[in-house]
Amino acid sequence: MLGALAPSRRRWLAEQYLRRSPLPTALERDLVEEVQRCWDGASLPLTMVELVDRARLLLLLQECCARDAACAGPAATGRHLQIASLRPLDALLADGRSALVLSPSFGPWPAIAPALARRGYKVGFLDLRPAARRPNQPLPPGPGLDLINLPSRGYARDLLRFACTERSVVVAVGDEGCGPRWARGTLLGRSVAVGSTPFELARRLDMGILPVFALGDSGGNRLLVERPLKPSNSGNADADLDATAGRWLKVVERLVRRYPAHYLSFLFARYRQRSQDPVPLFSDAAAQSGQ
């Protein structure tokens, strides 16, 4: 029901609902501890109470609009994700090349792939989340959209076939992973491991990487597009993967520090599910997985 309302009305109703549904004390305590783990000693743009409330609001709004954001056709262009300019993406696609649009699990990120498809791009969504965080059945693409859900198991051949087609756009989440290889870097001052597939794909096909972030604003969601990254390709595959992932993670950290509420729900879910992760996001969480 909320998904059909105007953004301002939807937000107001969601705020009223959350005021009447306080978090259980134990869960709120765990959330505060997660903030302290991830932003230890860093200045935050919000108070702790504001940060937790904002994260809950963003998550509720995302869940309310998820189906319509994924399944609506071209008539919904701009409704679920406002995009001011895609010139960096068009530049990467020049001369028939393909491109990798890479987002962290940040804000309403599931709206990115269908939003690009509504603007006429040929899009393949690669969901690299492990089974514990991935829906049993992906939502079907909206009618008339050139959008496919790429398989996440045994996906190498289909992924390469799609990425080699002219002006194709692969949309993936770069802070997840379910394959055998991992890239290493740092985030929020801690060592992290992220799935190597997007960075390996970009290196192998010399694809430009476009970092993007879906921001939830009072007037609706909007897409923030950063400068493209060129994958490292020195001939040392493992070092190149780490170097490319490290540069992307630096962009992610800058936005996570600026908009912490957009990332808190994901970090909290990763912490609570660390024992189910193939590899925990933060290396120091692995030592805590048995606790």
Reported in sequence order, the residue ranges of 61-181 that DSSP labels E, i.e. its strands, are 99-103, 122-126, 147-150, 168-173
| Per-residue pLDDT tens digits for 85-102 | 999 999 999 989 999 999
pLDDT at 152 over 80: no
CATH, domain range 2-286: 3.40.1130
Higher pLDDT, 276 or 215: 215
Higher pLDDT, 194 or 271: 194
Minimal CA–CA distance to 214: which of 39, 81, 31, 30? 81
Q: Which pLDDT score is estimated for 9? A: 82
- Banded model confidence at residue 124, pLDDT cuts 50, 70, 90: very high
**Cα distance between residue 96 and residue 211, in whole Å:** 20
**Cα distance between residue 242 and residue 247, in whole Å:** 9
| Reduced DSSP (H G I as helix, E B as strand, rest coil) percent helix, strand, coil of the chain, to 5 | 45, 20, 35
**Cα distance between residue 213 and residue 219, in whole Å:** 16
| Per-residue pLDDT tens digits for 159-191 | 999 999 999 999 999 999 887 889 999 999 999
Give me the helices (H) in the chain, please: 7-19, 25-38, 48-71, 87-92, 112-118, 156-163, 197-205, 237-258, 261-272, 283-286
Which residue type, as a one-letter code, is found at position 176? E
**Cα distance between residue 111 and residue 90, in whole Å:** 19
Residue 150 phi, psi (nearest 5): -70, 145
pLDDT at 16 over 80: yes
What mean pLDDT comes out for the span 232-240? 92
Strands 182-187 and 190-195 turn out to be antiparallel
Which residue type, as a one-letter code, is found at position 101? V
Residue with tokens 């709206």: 111
What mean pLDDT comes out for the span 51-60? 92
pLDDT at 3 over 60: no
**Cα distance between residue 128 and residue 136, in whole Å:** 13
Quick check: 217 and 167 in contact, CB under 8 A?
A: no
**Cα distance between residue 86 and residue 82, in whole Å:** 11
Mean pLDDT score across all residues of the chain: 90
Q: Which pLDDT score is estimated for 154? A: 67
Q: Which pLDDT score is estimated for 43? A: 81
pLDDT at 106 over 90: yes
pLDDT at 277 over 70: yes
- Return the sign of the alpha-carbon dihedral for residues 148, 153, 155, 157: negative
Q: Which pLDDT score is estimated for 133? A: 85
